[in-house]
Amino acid sequence: MKKRPYVLVTGASAGLGKFLALESVRNGYSVILVALPGSGLEIVADWLRNFKNTEVHCVETDLASDSGPDKVFNYCSSHQLQITILINNAGIGMESAFSTFPNQLCTSLMQLNTLAVVRMTGLFLPQLKSIKESFILNVSSLASYTPMPFKGIYAASKAFINSFSCSLRTELK
């Protein structure tokens, strides 16, 4: 593995993910950006490269698919990129009464907001544990602290992230 420290940011094409990538670059890290194909990821990458002449890699994939997390892991392995910080930020949130929520959309939300986080963490954890100072940031939401009518699936998925993250933190101490 290359010794240069990398931050891997999912959901990096916009919003909080884009900001977290920028802060990583400002703090001297090279970054691996992950987002959906066609989401403008290369535009963000060019902006970050121009901002601080840093190394930026892009992986366009759907993390809600079964193969999405593996594609990211395989890219990092094949390019010998050593992840120091994993930021699981990708997520979707929708507002709708559960009775009108399309089943496929519900499944996609749960796959991205929960299963992709677990899979990404599981894939990169052995590497992260081998580094003296490494970190995992699983982005949740204030919605995780209370049931929310019309956002029930989203709030439940973020409550899962909180519980998983707290458990993992204790295990890794």
* CATH number of the domain bearing residue 95: 3.40.50.720
The mean-pLDDT minimum among 91-105, 107-121, 122-136 falls in: 91-105
Is position 137 within any domain?
Answer: yes
pLDDT mean over 49-62: 92
Q: 59: which strand partners?
A: 34
Q: What pLDDT was estimated at residue 52?
A: 77
Percent of residues, the chain, with pLDDT higher than 70 = 98
What does pTM read for this prediction?
Answer: 0.94
pLDDT mean over 30-47: 97
- pLDDT for residue 149 is more than 90: yes
pLDDT mean over 40-54: 92
Phi-psi region of 11 (alpha: psi -120 to 50; beta: other; left: phi over 0): left
pLDDT mean over 66-71: 97
Number of separate domains in the chain: 1
Local confidence band at 3 (pLDDT 50, 70, 90 cut-offs): low
Domain with 149 in it: 6-172
Is position 103 within any domain?
Answer: yes
Local confidence band at 123 (pLDDT 50, 70, 90 cut-offs): very high
Percent of residues, the chain, with pLDDT higher than 90 = 83
Quote the tokens at residue 130: 């081998």
Is position 131 within any domain?
Answer: yes
Q: Rounded distance, CA 103 to CA 124, Å?
A: 30
Is position 64 within any domain?
Answer: yes
Q: Share the mean pLDDT of the chain.
A: 94
Is position 168 within any domain?
Answer: yes
pLDDT mean over 1-7: 72
Q: 108: which strand partners?
A: none
* Residues contacting residue 22 through CB under 8 Å, at least 6 positions apart: 48, 51
Is position 20 within any domain?
Answer: yes
52-65: b (≥16 Cβ within 10 Å) or e: eebebbbbbbbbbe
Q: What pLDDT was estimated at residue 1?
A: 45
Q: Rounded distance, CA 53 to CA 65, Å?
A: 33
Is position 1 within any domain?
Answer: no
The CA angle 162-171-77, to the nearest 5 degrees, is 85
* Residues contacting residue 109 through CB under 8 Å, at least 6 positions apart: 92, 93, 94, 153, 154, 157
Local confidence band at 114 (pLDDT 50, 70, 90 cut-offs): very high
